[in-house]
Amino acid sequence: MAAPDTLRTDDWWRDAAIYQVYPRSFADGDGDGTGDLAGVRARLPYLAELGVDAIWFTPWYASPLVDGGYDVADYRTIDPAFGTLAEAEKLIAEARDLGLRVIIDIVPNHVSDQHAWFRAALAAGPGSPERARFHFRPGRGENGELPPNDWPSQFSGNTWTRVPDGEWYLHLFTPEQPDLNWSHPDVRREHEEVLRFWFERGVAGVRIDSAALLTKDPELRDFIDGVDPHPYIDQDDIHDIYRSWRAIADEYGGVFVGEVWLPDPERFARYLRPDELHTAFNFNFLTCPWEADRLRRTIDDTLAEHAPVGAPATWVLCNHDVTRTVTRYGRDDTGFDFAKKRFGTRTDPTLGTRRARAAALLTLALPGSVYLYQGEELGLPEADIPRDRIQDPMHFRSGGTDPGRDGCRVPIPWEAEAPAYGFGTDPGREPWLPQPDDWARYAVDRQAADPGSMLTLYRTALELRRTEAGFGDGPLGWLPSPEGVLAFARAEGLLCVANLSGDPVPLPPHTDILLASDELPAHGTIPPDTAVWLRT
Ligand code: NOJ
């Protein structure tokens, strides 16, 4: 179990293992088929035993759940489907008693169309101060029938919706997620108050959704690819916002992790300057194919881009938006690209699982913090959701070609023999997304008793990472290795070797084998798609 005294270190976030909970699908404590805070509270001991340091909750606020809660109607209320504010406060305290910090999710780019501000804006009409908090504009064309500009959406489809009085409003995601106008002082003030509201309630950190999208080109000029800077991604003035947020976080000892998807390493690192965000998700690593040379380059680039600003790297294999690792690594194309998601992509789950096990040891040995997404520790594959049960707007906005993200959001199997695999407390209640028929084998109770399971691998690896010297923040040095093999040394003689080649390779000289992702043959080799931790 994580020792509560780990809560005392100020720089815990530099090498933490952080577990992402998608509340709707984690555990259903009131038997209505939807996960909730009661479910999480009942399962906190599981997370402590797993050996993580913190829990990041995707949005749990009042929301119509059009985009899984990333359409927030009220930041100061918990959605009734999930529980109450008092319960969230209890959860934060109970987690702390078990040595687990809580990170919440703030979605500053947009709100729900049911948010009081947007409802007031619609009611108040064109030119009103209420509309100034959003991006309302007249349309183009003779009668204003065309959208005000040509901006591409972050989901496919339109970025402007016309309201009955003829004006249009901007939404980079769905029409139910109107974008806020970040040059408006109310927007800044409100978010600063929301941060304080949650820091006062004891949260240790904040994940910032769509962190590079907040500020827009002041004239909302058209997007001319490759000519001018992008009109809404990574505007220079965005950093002022994060500087003021950082001052607030520092008052409370809170930390930030930004969702920053930017290919340019120098632009990415700007978000991590010492007076801005503490960390940002490493999506280059997440999207990288399972190929040794490309992974090595990504690791080197990551460390090089973080070094000048002194920020620790983060390592992420999956989250609630991307195809689950086991499925991705079993495909011909082992990388990840939103634009390429299609139904029926062939995968070899045995191969994918073997690689995901090796990837777990590789990731947990790298310098910095790591994020685990619920079910990753169980080796859950991406589920096929019947088309008539899909809920994700990404699917509908693609015209039905993109399967969407529900396949990685399926309720967790806790007990092999129980109805809905023990997800809920009401045996007669079906979970909000269907669980595949063959998931008993992934259930927590079954895996907990199996020394060869993914869960046992994660538990053991997280424990070693916490108790053995050399893991976490600090230097990494590459070792000479055969082609297709990643071999590096950390401090204190700790080595990690991952064999991504198609052939067995010899184990380097060592004094101890700490852990291997699969069984090692007696004759001192590492089989393909296997990783080991050694001590020299
Ligand atoms: C990123 C979140 O991870 C995703 O789930 C959401 O749909 C978009 N941001 C919009 O908030």
What's the 70 CA to ligand 1 centre distance in angstroms?
Answer: 6
- 124 alpha carbon – ligand 1 mean position (Å): 29
Output the residue whose Cα is nearest ligand 1's atom 10: 70
Atom of ligand 1 nearest to the CA of 394: 7
DSSP assignments along 51-116, one per residue: T-SEEEEPP-EE---TTTT-S-SEEEEE-TTT--HHHHHHHHHHHHHTT-EEEEEE-TTB--TTSH
Cα of 474 vs centre of ligand 1, distance in Å, is 31
Whole-number Å distance, alpha carbon 505 to ligand 1 midpoint, is 41
Look at residues 135, 126, 118 and name the one whose alpha carbon lies nearest to residue 184: 135
- The residue contributing the CA closest to ligand 1 atom 3 is 321
Best probe residue, ligand 1, of 209, 214, 286 (max atoms within 8 Å of C-beta): 209
Please, what sign has the CA dihedral across residues 10, 12, 15, 19? Answer: negative
118: tokens are 């947007």
Q: Which ligand 1 atom lies nearest to the CA of residue 67?
A: 7
Name every residue whose Cβ is closer than 8 Å to that of residue 344 and which is 6 or more positions away in sequence.
none
Protein residue whose Cα sits closest to atom 6 of ligand 1: 70
Pocket test for ligand 1, best of 67, 110, 233 (most atoms within 8 A of CB): 67
Among the atoms of ligand 1, which is closest to the Cα of residue 109? 11
Does pTM surpass 0.95? yes
What is the pLDDT at residue 10? 85
What pLDDT sits at residue 267? 95
Output the residue whose Cα is nearest ligand 1's atom 2: 209
- Please give the number of the atom of ligand 1 that sits closest to the Cα of 107: 11
Structure confidence at residue 215 (pLDDT): 98
CATH code 3.20.20.80 region(s) in the chain: 12-108+187-459
105 is catalytic: no
**Bridge partners of residue 515, in order along the sequence:** 533
Q: Are strands 477-478 and 485-489 parallel, antiparallel or unpaired?
A: antiparallel
**Which of 11, 228, 237, 251 is flagged as catalytic?**
251
Q: Report the pLDDT value the prediction gives residue 210, as an integer from 0 to 100.
A: 98
What is residue 1's predicted lDDT score, i.e. its pLDDT?
Answer: 43
Q: Which of 67, 105, 209, 321 is catalytic?
A: 209
Which atom of ligand 1 has the smallest separation from the CA of 319?
3
Q: How far is the CA of 49 from the centre of ligand 1 (A)?
A: 29
Residue whose CA lies nearest to ligand 1 atom number 4: 321
CA 209 to centroid of ligand 1, rounded, Å: 6
> Where does the chain hold its CATH 3.90.400.10 domain(s)?
116-170
- 365 within 8 A of 496, measured Cβ to Cβ: yes
Query: Closest ligand 1 atom to the C-alpha of 110?
Result: 11
45 Cα–ligand 1 center, Å: 28
CA–centroid distance, 327 to ligand 1, in Å, is 21
Q: Residues in the chain, how many?
A: 536
Domain 12-108+187-459 listed as CATH 3.20.20.80: yes
The alpha-helical segments, DSSP class H, found in 235-310 are 238-252, 265-270, 283-287, 292-306
Q: Select from 115, 233, 321 the residue to mutate for testing ligand 1; criterion: most ligand atoms less than 8 Å from CB.
A: 321
142 a catalytic residue:
no
Instruction: Give, for ligand 1, the residue of 107, 172, 207 to mutate: max count of ligand atoms closer than 8 Å to Cβ.
Output: 107
**pLDDT one digit per residue (tens) for the chain, 536 residues:** 444 555 657 899 999 999 999 999 999 999 999 999 999 999 999 999 999 999 999 999 999 999 999 999 999 999 999 999 999 999 999 999 999 999 999 999 999 999 999 999 999 999 999 999 999 999 999 999 999 999 989 888 899 999 999 999 999 999 999 999 999 999 999 999 999 999 999 999 999 999 999 999 999 999 887 777 899 999 999 999 999 999 999 999 999 999 999 988 899 999 999 999 999 999 999 999 999 999 999 999 999 999 999 999 999 999 999 999 999 999 999 999 999 999 999 999 999 999 999 999 999 999 999 999 999 999 999 999 999 999 999 999 999 999 999 999 999 999 999 999 999 999 999 999 999 999 999 999 999 999 999 999 999 999 999 999 999 999 999 999 999 999 999 999 999 999 999 999 999 999 999 999 999 998 899 999 999 999 99
494-499 vs 530-535, strand pairing mode:
antiparallel
Picking from 190, 263, 261, 267, the residue whose alpha carbon sits closest to that of residue 236 is 267
How many Å lie between the centroid of ligand 1 and the Cα of residue 59?
10
**Which amino acids bring their CB within 6 angstroms of ligand 1?**
67-68, 70, 107, 173, 209-210, 259, 320-321
Spacing, Cα 340 to ligand 1 middle (Å) = 18
Q: Ligand 1: distance of its center to the CA of 511 in Å? A: 46
Nearest atom (ligand 1) to Cα of 155: 7
Q: Return the ligand 1 atom nearest residue 70 CA.
A: 11
Instruction: Residue 236: count other Cβ atoms within 10 Å of its Cβ.
Output: 10
Per-residue pLDDT, 8: 55
Contact 379, 355 (CB under 8 A): no
Give the mutation target among 72, 208, 210, 396 for probing the ligand 1 site: most ligand atoms within 8 A of CB: 210
| CATH 3.90.400.10 at 116-170, yes or no | yes
| CATH class (in words) of the domain with range 475-535 | mainly beta
Residues of the chain with CATH 2.60.40.1180: 475-535
- CA–CA distance, 121 with 113 (Å, rounded to integer): 10
The backbone torsions φ and ψ at residue 147, rounded to the nearest 5 degrees and listed phi first, read: -60, 150
Q: Report DSSP state, residue 507.
A: P
The torsion of the CA quartet 512, 518, 522, 524, rounded to 10 degrees, works out to -60
